[in-house]
Chain A
Amino acid sequence: MAQIVLDSVDKVFPGGVTAVDNLSLGINDGEFMVFVGPSGCGKSTALRMIAGLEDISRGAITIGERVVNDLPPKDRDIAMVFQNYALYPHMTVEQNLAFGLQLRKMPKSEIKRRVGEAAKMLGLEQYLGRKPAALSGGQRQRVAMGRAIVREPQAFLMDEPLSNLDAKLRVSMRASLAQLHERLGVTTVYVTHDQIEAMTLGDRVAVLREGKLQQVDTPQNLFDSPVNLFVAGFIGSPAMNFVEAELVREDGPAVAFAGQKLPVPEESITAKEGLDSYFGRRVIVGIRPSDFEDGTLADSGWARMSVTADVTEELGSEINVIFMIDAPPVEHKDTSDLAHDVADEEEAAIPLAGNQSIWTARVNARSRVRPGERINLAVDTRNLHFFDTDSGLAIGHPEAAQVAAAATAEA
């Protein structure tokens, strides 16, 4: 087992495309680190550089105590699980599992023991004699995992290993992955574009965009205090609501937007260093859908806003209320990157209704809200997020200064 350190790592492909840009990151021994980001953000490239499948253009990668830049993949003592499993189609499950051990000239009895153990752990015992073509997707996925496990490497590298499974299987495989990591305690780097996988599996999650590290932290911290608009919008589902608002001080601090005015608790202002200098200026306010509640069911101390529910998505345990805010959608590079990603992966974004923003509130399932009705929403204003309109950085976030410095260094 080992820690993995990436020190100012760059990857520039022939042709000049920079896939990974000055990535510095420490992955602790035994940690489950998730790289997450929209497609093309360099997360897979970063993983492949750790594996040794791509050259490192600049910087250094250390696994354990060794700088591995010039080490071939087989000497890095890592095992990788591929998105398409990459099982050898002409070998049986047993041969697939044993292949890496045979090449390392391990004694036969030891190979047999390890293969047997892994097969037992993954429930593959009755399939050992089969070829991959005769296995289901989930079984192939487990064989791919087994091939990594038998090697007993210093680190596991996983490149979107669950993305080819159907939704239900993905959830159960996610749980087994978490269990497996618990049991083996091997340092794991896991790449995914699915933020739910990232949040549920990761000890820490690194959010990447265009090859640059945005923020790395525990899932809860990423959710609670995102460093910029991009992370704020990427982490969390449904996504955070944004609006450009004015920070004013009348009876007390408040944000005013689209005919709404939400009071801001005094302690939020003092907790976020530098926020007080924004009074009288415009800021981007972010509200998580989960920080809304139906007014009739909520804490009486929460601020209220009255809106018309356009669409309600009843999910059983809760209701997503989708409504319009009479303010133009926030236009910032961070949010447009996100919109672009959504448009790529799902069909297309909902057509924007004129100059209005679409917001989502997640309310209790007991709410009686119906489409087209007015609803009095309560907002937990202690959890408001404030972002600078130019830089898109969270105001008062301790890491914001570093990110800003990196951004200007780039320019």
Chain B
Amino acid sequence: MRHGKYRFIVGFLVPPLLLYGIFVLSPYAQTFYIALTDWRGLSAELNFIGLENFAELVRDGAFWNALRHNGLLLVIVPAVTIALALFFASMLNLGGRRGGSAVQGVRGAEFYKVVYFFPQVLSIAVIAILWQFVYNPRSGLLNGVLDVLGLGFLRATWLGDPSLALWAVMAVLVWSGVGFYVVLFNAAIQAIPRDLFEAALLDGAGRLATFRRVTLPLLWDSVQVAFVYLGIIALDAFALVQIMTFGPGGPDDSTMVTGLYLYKNAFEYARFGYATAIGVAMFFLTLSLAVLTLRVTRRERVEY
């Protein structure tokens, strides 16, 4: 019987572990190996070349250029997205002051919640194409609106100007991300007992003080999670750049991100070994970012 029990347990454990091993662990292991080769992806022929790929990576200006763009995204996209989402979420719950109770959202809060969430239901491909139209220099919505507002001098070839293209991409990343975090923070705010905000009001806290001293500290767990998610998105951004920009990654590599550089190395230059090395570098970068974010932002848990 004892023997049968173990067989029973093992019988259940083996299939999932096997699947995990084959489809998750072994690709990782293979990746680490391929990164040490000069495999071109077209034939089974490959030579072990040690850390040569990584040495080349360090000297590769194009890689550093792409990484710099990711760095910029990493600095700006999470911060702006979270700031906007926090602002919207607190206005939706606490911004209103007129008519009825002292602590309530702005008028039409329910409607805005739905509207903010819209971008979230669109696939990234649709979003990219949509914004291509918006950014179109001749018939695009953005330039059209600027004209109507009498701001025609601000017209630009948004995706065609190397100094603007990355910012245009960033704006779309923020636009498509904010809604989800509004919903996330909204739920977190609603979990805070209402009378805390009333107490803050009686203590003399205005909106800003309430936000800074009460709302934000109580939302910190959610903000932390948001930072990690958005950090990972900022280090990727491949799909949006690939579909939306010229080149893609252009003009003049001004929107090149590491994900796209990896893709080009693999599928355009047929340098799978080198591309894999980029992947490995990104793996460690993303991992350390997540650990670092959680470490740096760690605070004592709030208990009610």
Contact = CB atoms under 8 A, between A and B. Distances in A.
A104 interface: yes
Interface in A145-159: 147, 151
A133 B303 contact: yes
Contact of B203 (A13, A99, A131): A99
B196 to A, nearest CB: 5
A79 B302 CA distance: 25
A86 B201 contact: no
Question: DSSP class of A's interface residues: helix, strand, loop or mixed?
Answer: loop
Interface in B261-296: none
B268 to A, nearest CB: 52
Interface string B214-252: 100110000000000000000000000000000000000
A13 B102 contact: no
B37 to A, nearest CB: 52
A90 B204 CA distance: 18
Interface residues of A, number: 29
Contact of A74 (B101, B204, B300): B204
A84 interface: yes
B185 to A, nearest CB: 16
A104 B204 CA distance: 7
A53 B218 CA distance: 22
B205 interface: yes
B102 A53 contact: yes
Given A51-B198, A74-B205, 4 more contacts: A73-B201, A82-B199, A86-B195, A151-B203
Contacts of B195: 82-84, 86
Contacts of A82: 195, 198-199
A100 interface: yes
A54 interface: yes
Contacts, number: 81
Given A73-B202, A89-B218, A103-B203, A54 B101 contact: yes
Residue from B103, B213, B300 with most neighbouring chain A CB atoms (10 Å)? B213
A86 B304 contact: no
Contact of A90 (B99, B103, B201, B302): B302
A53 B100 contact: no
A160 to B, nearest CB: 12
30 contacts: A14-B100, A52-B201, A52-B202, A53-B102, A53-B103, A53-B202, A54-B100, A54-B102, A55-B100, A72-B201, A73-B102, A74-B204, A74-B206, A80-B199, A82-B198, A82-B199, A84-B195, A87-B199, A88-B200, A88-B214, A89-B196, A89-B303, A90-B217, A99-B203, A99-B205, A100-B202, A103-B204, A104-B204, A131-B300, A147-B203
Given A84-B193, A90-B302, A100 B204 contact: yes
A80 B204 contact: no
A375 interface: no
A206 interface: no
Contacts of A254: none
A104 B209 CA distance: 11
Interface in A379-410: none
A55 B99 contact: yes
A103 B209 contact: yes
B193 A86 contact: yes
Contacts of B209: 103
Nearest to A157: B202
A13 B104 CA distance: 14
Contacts of B199: 80, 82, 86-88, 147
Q: How large is the interface on B (under 10, 10 to 19, 20 to 34, 35 or more residues)?
A: 20 to 34
A2 to B, nearest CB: 16
A406 B100 CA distance: 26
A78 interface: yes
A124 to B, nearest CB: 17
Interface in A3-48: 13-14
A89 B304 contact: yes
A80 B202 contact: yes
Interface in B90-120: 99-103
B105 to A, nearest CB: 14
Interface in B136-190: none
Most chain B beta-carbon contacts within 10 A, residue among A53, A54, A74, A104: A53
Interface in A124-150: 131, 133, 147
A332 B302 CA distance: 51
B221 to A, nearest CB: 11
A151 B303 CA distance: 26
A78 B202 contact: yes
A89 B201 contact: no
B218 A90 contact: yes
B303 A131 contact: yes
A8 B57 CA distance: 79
A135 to B, nearest CB: 11
B304 A74 contact: no
Nearest to B196: A86
Contacts of B196: 86, 88-89
Contacts of B99: 14, 55
A104 to B, nearest CB: 5
Nearest to B218: A90
Nearest to B217: A90
Given A79-B202, A89-B304, A90-B217, A52 B102 contact: yes
Nearest to A104: B204
